[in-house]
Amino acid sequence: MSEPLLFEDLKVLDVSSWIAAPSCAMMLADQGADVLKIEPPGEGDLYRQYFQMPPSPDSDVNYTWTLDNRNKRSMSLNLKSAEGMAILHRLIESCDVYITNQPLPLRREIKLMWEDIRHLNSRMIYASITAYGEDGPDRDMEGFDLVGYWSRSGLMNQMRHKGVEPFQAMAGMGDHPTAVALYGSVVTALYRREKTGEGSKVHTSLLANGLWSASCFAQAAWAESDFSVIPGQRLTTALYLTADNRWIQFSMVRQVEVFDRLILVLGHPEWLADERFATPELRLENHEPLTQMMRDVIIERTAADWLADFHSQDVPATLVAEFQDLPGDPQVLQNGMAMPTVEDLGMSHVIRDPINVDGLGRVGGRKAPDAGEHTEEVLAELGFAAEEMQRFREQGVI
């Protein structure tokens, strides 16, 4: 017997684009929700083309679209037309969750703010993502996670070595955590609705999630801490290149006995008598010569050889993964971090969100919709005849 789908009776309108908000809708769809993605007529959400944009890895498979929009239906709808908006209002009347990341000025212009549509459905959860928050002087600014999450939060400035320019994050690196935050907000609001019968507005932002990610350092600013002692990420956990061009990382080598075992595995017991490395404090002070000495040794053997020796002596060493390693990583597969596809998607697995509830099922990896693929199906469900659909198409409503 298959496990039950928690949200199989939930109706979700995904009136959003790109990554963060659509990913939240995908999370609900994975658990059985009927998610209808509203896209503009024509090409639809421009994220459909992202997998072909540099610097994405080359592929004939639209892997990013499948990743964030699987298990949804798609309807093309011109929200700048009166009839298109009327159709959306009818959909809102029966939805449980309305998800949007439309810029606030656009929402105000076309009257799709929470205050504009809440009267249509008192039980609706209105879920909003913005770049910088719902209020404040920058609330109307557009922004992607590369700016709102990574740069504005302070993460970009901190994640570099001393003397090195800040570098840009990967696309989507802040969007996906922000999607999880919105999902948590939606589920909390659904639980509140169970207790009160009332819908509500929930929201999060890229900046809020970037700040949360950086909070172990960012909180220090409120404590008026001295940041001059950490100009960047210091080389206290340096990386070491092996003979087969892979990187090894050591972490939590703090106790004297662990450090001793590390040096013995490297085959240089004489280093233990070096006064520069006699204590953890001195090792930190003299980390540059120690790092170089270790690098000169580790480059002589392969990563697999070193890791076998380190692990046999309980030295906490880790291979720095490359993306190509992940499909064969037993920890990823056995913990369901990537789930098998149940249709031919050109991929055996798709990465899933990190939420786990034992005893609940998931739909599985099914295709993401073509642009407007389900438009006529949805209009038929609303009671529109074929002649009306043709008229809508001729007038550019759908």
Q: What is the pLDDT of residues 328-367, one digit of tens each?
A: 999 999 999 999 999 999 999 999 999 999 999 999 889 9
CB atoms inside a 10 Å sphere around CB 271? 19
Provide mean pLDDT across the span 256-283.
Answer: 92
Give the pLDDT confidence score for residue 236 in this predicted structure: 46
Is the pLDDT at 231 greater than 80, yes or no? no
- Give the contacts of 171 (CB within 8 A, at least 6 positions apart): 19, 50, 144, 145, 146
Mean pLDDT of the chain: 93
Tokens found for residue 240 = 């070491």
Give the pLDDT confidence score for residue 232 in this predicted structure: 52
Question: For the whole prediction, is pTM greater than 0.85?
Answer: yes
Provide mean pLDDT across the span 109-121.
Answer: 98
Q: What is the pLDDT of residues 137-193, one digit of tens each?
A: 999 998 889 899 999 999 998 888 777 888 888 889 999 999 999 999 999 999 999
Nearest to 89 by CA among 116, 69, 107: 116
Q: What is the pLDDT of residues 37-81, one digit of tens each?
A: 999 999 999 999 999 998 889 999 999 999 999 999 999 999 999
Give the pLDDT confidence score for residue 293 in this predicted structure: 95
Give the pLDDT confidence score for residue 112 in this predicted structure: 98
Domains and CATH numbers, the chain: 11-215+368-394 (3.40.50.10540), 235-324 (3.30.1540.10)
Confidence of residue 234 (pLDDT cuts 50, 70, 90): very low
Tokens found for residue 162 = 């001393």
Give the pLDDT confidence score for residue 142 in this predicted structure: 87
The residues that bridge with 166 in the sheet, in sequence order, are none
Give the pLDDT confidence score for residue 182 in this predicted structure: 98
Is the pLDDT at 235 greater than 50, yes or no? no
Tokens found for residue 242 = 């092996």
Residue 87 DSSP one-character state: H
DSSP string, 35-73: EEEEE-TTT--GGGGGGGSTTSPP-SS-HHHHHHHTTEE
Confidence of residue 237 (pLDDT cuts 50, 70, 90): low
Provide mean pLDDT across the span 295-306.
Answer: 97
Residue 44 near residue 74 (C-beta atoms within 8 A): yes
Nearest to 28 by CA among 71, 64, 67: 71
Residue 339 near residue 40 (C-beta atoms within 8 A): no
Is the pLDDT at 17 greater than 90, yes or no? yes
Q: What distances in angstroms separate CA 365 from CA 189, 324, 339, 350, 385, one per listed residue?
A: 27, 20, 7, 6, 33
Cα angle for residues 336, 339, 342 (degrees, 5° grid): 150
